[in-house]
Structure 1
Amino acid sequence: MPAFKTLDDLTDLSGKRVLLRVDLNVPVKDGKVTDTTRIERVAPTILELSGKGARVILLAHFGRPDGKAVPSMSLGPIAGVVESVLDHRVDFAADCIGEAAREAVAAMDNGDVLLLENTRFHADEEKNDRGFAEALAKNGDIYVNDAFSAAHRAHASTEGLAHLLPAYAGRTMQAELIALEKGLGKPTRPVVAIVGGAKVSSKIDLLKNLVKKVDALVIGGGMANTFLAARGIDVGKSLCEHDLAVTVNGIEAEATAAGCALVLPVDGVVAREFKANADSETVDVTAIPADAMMLDIGPKSVASVNAWISKAHTLVWNGPLGAFEIPPFDAATVSAARHAARCTSEGLLVSVAGGGDTVSALNHAGVAESFTYVSTAGGAFLEWMEGKPLPGVDVLEA
């Protein structure tokens, strides 16, 4: 793993202005935050810095305002939620640079926490403009990045600042990088990857990278239909990207060449309509009725997946095995997730999972807390799995 400095390398923080990049891009409905997970993840770093007497200045983005000040994307209302999660006062400044930011920072005492307005209200943030990064840096002595979920973007607040101030990884970033190293960097073998979701087209780079790194690759969800169809199996009305047959056959060939077992479903749960508790039946994948669609993998396939999980010492999971949002098509995902959680709890497995639907699926199965690490980073987690460089991580290398 590349060497990077952490909070352990920071000694005297009293009175130091710490620019802390966090991810506060939380879901909001009707003006209310519906999930505080990302705030809870960064709370330990904020409180540790504050507890050591630092003046903690939070940098974050919210939504896609495209470089304009959009009132509905202000971080102002989020400040109160952060305050509630931390149980610590959080002040707010109406801009992240300029006079508003400078005055708010100047008014801080040791241990205070200040949230600056949405960095993306400035177009130069996403351009990683050096002048904008310098304007941010004026308010800090130290830079700490605790936003792994934004680390795949080379923006001023995620990459540019690290060139201008002494740079460190926060506790969440540190935990994420350690978990990812255990997952694919230097994993304990055998390594099994589960990749599900709707479309192969969105995960071609991911699949091509994984077949070279894992011992077995389990394909589930709508993606499995595309693999089955490429083998000449009629998948009826199942979600399927028939035009990707050549691509999928190429991935199969790469898997064979790399000695990676490709695990596809042998049976599936099919229905004529996509709705909760629709009439369904379990059939062999070679016997999917022409007017039906496969919405989950079947019990024989689940047994195979669970057998691979039992063999594994490391599991990397991205994407559900079926349409887990609607019963009974959540059965396979729930069964495999609970089996992986059991193996993890017994000390037999290192389990690393991530990606939006994956987190929802593991929460649905009630096992997110039992995995070794569940990443809340969507795009960054995927790009890491694809083997792509992450600018916000690379710049922290000591």
Structure 2
Amino acid sequence: MFKTLKDLEIDGKTVFIRCDFNVPIDEFGNITDDRRIRSALPTIRYCIDRDCKVVLASHFERPEPGKFEEKYSLYPVYKRLDTLLKIKKELYFDDSKSGEVISKRALELFEKLEPRDVLLLENLRFDPGETKDDLEFAKQLSQFGEFYINDAFGACHRKHASIHAIASLYDKEHKGAGFLLAKEVNFFHKVLENPSRPFVAVVGGSKVSGKLEALNRLISKVDKIIIGGGMAFTFLKAQGYEVGNSLVEEDLIDEARTIMYKAKKNKVKFYLPVDVVVAPEFSDHTTVKYLPSQEIPEEWMGLDIGPASTRLFREALNDAHTIMWNGPMGVYEMEKFAKGSIKMSHYIAESHATTIVGGGDTADVAARAGDVDEMTFVSTGGGASLKLIEGEELPGITALES
């Protein structure tokens, strides 16, 4: 098992913290959801309180390596962090727009750091070495800290230099997990290994292929599975229904049948939408109909679960003691097709169960529905949380343990 921040003797040292500040930003450069920044604050403040010199690093989106683009700069994160952190000392940021992570200016700022000062580096992905897991780039990053702390759960499933290669440069006494990362891993492990029952998994999203391993593992863990989103149509097709132009992964129809068979064999109740919101095209201005799942017209496509499905799913959630939700129920980005996802979010939030929300789109739905504060736990990592559910080892975690 990895060490956590509290297990390390960091007092008065320089600490390099890998954060996940990959936050949504609108067309005007304003941060629309700062939960990931807020989630990192306990780890940062803990280091500041111990008179550390703190260096923060994160990726943001997918810029072209080696080229500075204003829209991919961490400058908006720096401004928000400055507001949230409220430190009496300095928060520094290299705003030279050089396109370099380890720029001359960044090194100058690092040299002048005093205890309790904080330096935020520019977007790690501006350097080609980050996504290549380049050891040389990792060595350059390691000069910013006697200790390495990984608090970027949302990026732990990626084998990148600041997540994976850099950890190999520190021994176990000088590397560990931040509070957020430790909390995420412990929470998922506890829920999957020893949940309060009935344990219900609500699984949505567009494709079965992205959730195949998770579904296969959940069947042996849960008491009920509720399926929504585009992936439901592959299961409906596997049951012999005609689904029109709805999204179907033809090559996974047999796999869908196998999953339903395993559920029946394990006495896991398996719920699919009984009605859907259908439209002739994927558009905000199109005509919509509410139809039973068996009656989707040939040229139409299902884009959300219908009202009867939401009522059915609500009944299925009524006795739940643990609910794990990963994936929206429809194309929630469009208002016409968002009702199913929003209602499911409300139902999950209103339940008396322990509720775990996977990151990414699922967390976005919960935020849009105004339910985040009502959930027991909202993960900061969609892809990483899915890999944990699948039982896969995350490169970021194994690197801390080795």
- Say yes or no: TM over 0.5: yes
Is 1:26 aligned with 2:23?
yes
Contact 2:25 2:31 in 1 (8 A): yes
For the residues of structure 2 that align with 1:342 and 1:248, how far apart are their CA atoms? 30
The one of 358, 373, 395 equivalent to 1:391 is: 395
Deviation, structure 1 residue 279 = 5.0
The alignment of Structure 1 onto Structure 2 pairs a total of residues equal to: 391
User: In 2 relative to 1, CA 255–65 (structure 1 residues): closer, same or farther, beyond 3 Å?
Assistant: same
Q: Which amino acid aligns with 1:40?
A: R
Report whether the alignment pairs 1:145 with 2:150.
yes
Q: Tell me which of 368, 372, 376 is aligned to 2:372.
A: 368
The SS at the match of 1:323 is coil
TM-superposed deviation, 1:51: 2.4
Quickly say closer, same or farther: Cα 1:217–1:86, change in 2 above 3 A. Answer: same
Distance 1:131 1:47 in 2: 30
Q: What SS class does the counterpart of residue 316 from structure 1 fall into?
A: strand
CA contact (8 A) 1:98 1:135 kept: no
> What amino acid does structure 2 have at the position aligned with 1:92?
F
User: Equivalent residue of 1:352, what SS?
Assistant: strand
In 2, the alpha carbon distance for the partners of 1:132 and 1:307 equals 53
1:277–1:326 Cα contact (<8 Å) kept: no
Quickly say closer, same or farther: Cα 1:30–1:366, change in 2 above 3 A: closer
Q: In structure 2, the residue corresponding to 1:312 is in which secondary structure?
A: coil
Supply the distance in 2 between the matched residues of 1:261 and 1:196 (Cα, whole angstroms).
16
**322 and 130 in structure 1: CA distance in 2 versus 1, 3 angstrom threshold:** closer
Where does structure 1 lack aligned partners over 5 or more consecutive residues?
Answer: none
* Deviations, residues 226-275 of structure 1 (Å, cap 9, x unaligned): 21112111123333334432232232233334443321122233344545
| RMSD over aligned Cα atoms | 2.5
**Amino acid aligned to 1:360:** D
> Structure 1 length normalisation: TM-score?
0.88
Say whether residues 1:74 and 2:73 are aligned partners: yes
Corresponding residue of 2:252 = 244
Check the 8 A contact 1:182/1:188 in 2, yes or no: no
* TM alignment of 1:116-195, pairs within 5 A: 116-165=121-170, 166-195=174-203
Paired AA for residue 82 in structure 1: L
Q: 8 Å contact 1:277–1:327 — kept in the other structure? A: no
Residue 366 of structure 2 aligns to a residue in which SS? helix
Farther off after superposition, 263-272 or 54-63: 263-272
Render the CA deviation track for 1:301-360: whole Å, top value 9, x for unaligned. Answer: 2233222222222111111123333445433323322222122xxxx3111112422122
Residue number in structure 2 paired with 1:56 = 54
- Looking at structure 2, the residues matched to 288 and 156 of structure 1 have their Cα atoms a distance apart, in angstroms, of 48
> 1:378: which partner in 2?
382
Code of the residue aligned with 1:108 in structure 2: it is L
Corresponding position: 1:305 with 2:310: no
3-state SS, counterpart of residue 175 of structure 1: helix
* CA pair 49-207 structure 1, distance change in 2 beyond 3 A: same
Structure 1 position 115 matched with structure 2 position 120: yes
Aligned runs of 1:336-351 on 2, under 5 Å?
336-343=344-351, 348-351=352-355
What amino acid maps onto 1:396 in structure 2?
Answer: L
Distance 1:224 1:50, change over 3 A: same
- Residue equivalent to 1:91: 92
2:36 aligned counterpart, secondary structure: helix
Q: Is the 8 A contact 1:26 1:33 kept in 2?
A: no
> How far, CA to CA, are the matches of 1:275 and 1:97 in structure 2?
44
Per the alignment, residue 241 of structure 2 pairs with 233
Name which of structure 1's ranges 276-285 and 373-382 shifts more when overlaid on structure 2: 276-285
- 1:397 Cα offset (Å): 3.4
Matched, 1:314 2:322: yes
Q: Letter of the 2:81 partner, please give it.
A: V
- Quick check: 280-289 or 35-44, which moved more? 280-289
Superimposed CA distance per residue, residues 176-229 of structure 1 (whole angstroms, 9 cap, x where no aligned partner)? 123212332432232211111222233223322322332222110121112111
Worse-superposed segment, 217-226 or 64-73: 64-73
User: Contact 1:230 / 1:242 at 8 angstroms: preserved in 2?
Assistant: no
TM-score (norm 2): 0.88
Identify which of 39, 48, 60 aligns with 1:41.
39
Change (3 A) 1:135 1:322: closer
Offset, 1:145: 0.9
Q: Is the 8 A contact 2:14 2:146 kept in 1?
A: yes
Deviation at 1:291, TM superposition (A): 4.3
Bigger shift: residues 355-364 or 106-115 = 355-364
For 2:283 and 2:163, locate their aligned partners in 1 and report how far apart those are by CA, in whole Å: 42
Q: In 2, are the aligned partners of 1:181 and 1:187 still within 8 Å (CA)?
A: no
Structure 1 vs Structure 2: percent identity of aligned residues?
A: 39
| Conserved 8 A contact 1:162-1:396 | yes
